[in-house]
Amino acid sequence: MSNLNLPNIERTPGGARVDLVRVAEMVTRGAKVLDVGCGDGELLHLLGETRGVDGRGIELSREGVNKCVAKGLAVIQGDADTDLADYPDDAFDFVILSQTLQATRQPRVVLEHMLRIGRHAIVSFPNFGHWQVRMQLLFAGHMPRTDILPHSWYDTPNIHHCTIKDFRQLCDEVGVKMEKAVALNAWGSPLRFNAPWWFWNLFGEQAVFLLSRTR
């Protein structure tokens, strides 16, 4: 599912994907973590190395799963849309959905499950409200294609695009608490912390949210 190939995404000097580093920074050391749509295990590996977490993963693509298991990661083949229901309440400290939300069939249900299974959820997604996306649609008149949205409209796994504004609205509707949010510009640097939401929605290429239950 999130085995999204993102060859052009920014990396740190250490070689880690910047968005994954931002996600990792939100995870408490030694926590129990479920990475939903873990791809080839890059984030799980990073979390193991830098945060010492007890990490598990679910991945839709068979190649991704087999790569992860061969690396010694605890990953199962499964579908975020159907298989999260099988996990018991409070099984994890953090449930992470990295660059996968827009590829799920029922983003709202997935989000609700994440916060049932885990005490915290971390969601990162490409912001469809980014000015480049808007410009492509407005002036070029075609479906936007960017470094983090590289697919054509006919072969994209991303079926539920949303903007930062949309996602905040969903969080309100579901009744989750936004503990932290970071928007990253095209170079992977966080935008000014005190910038207003409309600024993030326009200039953030992707966003990372740390969420928790209200109750």
Partner 1 sequence: MVEASVTSLRDAADAPRDADHPRDSLIATFGADKPLALDAGVELSPFQIAYKTYGTLNAERSNAVLVCHALTGDQHVGNVHPVTGKSGWWETLLGPGKPIDTDRYFVICPNVVGGCMGTTGPASTNPKTGKPWGLDFPVLTIRDMVRAQAMLLDHLGIDTLFAAVGGSMGGMQVLQWAASFPKRVFAALPIACATRHSAQNIAFHEVGRQAIMADPEWRGGRYHLEGTNPRRGLAVARMGAHITYLSDAALHRKFGRKFQDRENPTFSFDADFEVESYLRYQGSSFVERFDANSYLYLTRAMDYFDLAADAGGVLANAFKGAPTRFCVISFTSDWLFPTSESRAIVHALNASSARVSFAEIVTDKGHDAFLLEEPEMFGIVRGFLDGASKARGLR
- Write out the residues near partner 1 by the rule CB under 8 A: 54, 56, 62, 65-66, 68-78, 86-88, 91
In whole angstroms, how close is the CB of 149 to partner 1 at the nearest point?
29
In whole angstroms, how close is the CB of 87 to partner 1 at the nearest point?
6
- Helix H segments across 118-163? 131-135
Q: Which is nearer to partner 1, 91 or 109 (CB)?
A: 91
The CA distance from 123 to 207, in Å, is 8
- Helix H segments across 52-136? 62-70, 80-83, 107-117, 131-135
In whole angstroms, how close is the CB of 1 to partner 1 at the nearest point?
15
The CA distance from 132 to 145, in Å, is 9
Q: Which is nearer to partner 1, 82 or 214 (CB)?
A: 82
Q: Which is nearer to partner 1, 78 or 129 (CB)?
A: 78
Identify the DSSP state of 207.
E
In whole angstroms, how close is the CB of 68 to partner 1 at the nearest point?
8
Q: Which is nearer to partner 1, 83 or 147 (CB)?
A: 83
- Give one DSSP letter per residue of 46-58, joined into a string: HHHHHH--EEEEE
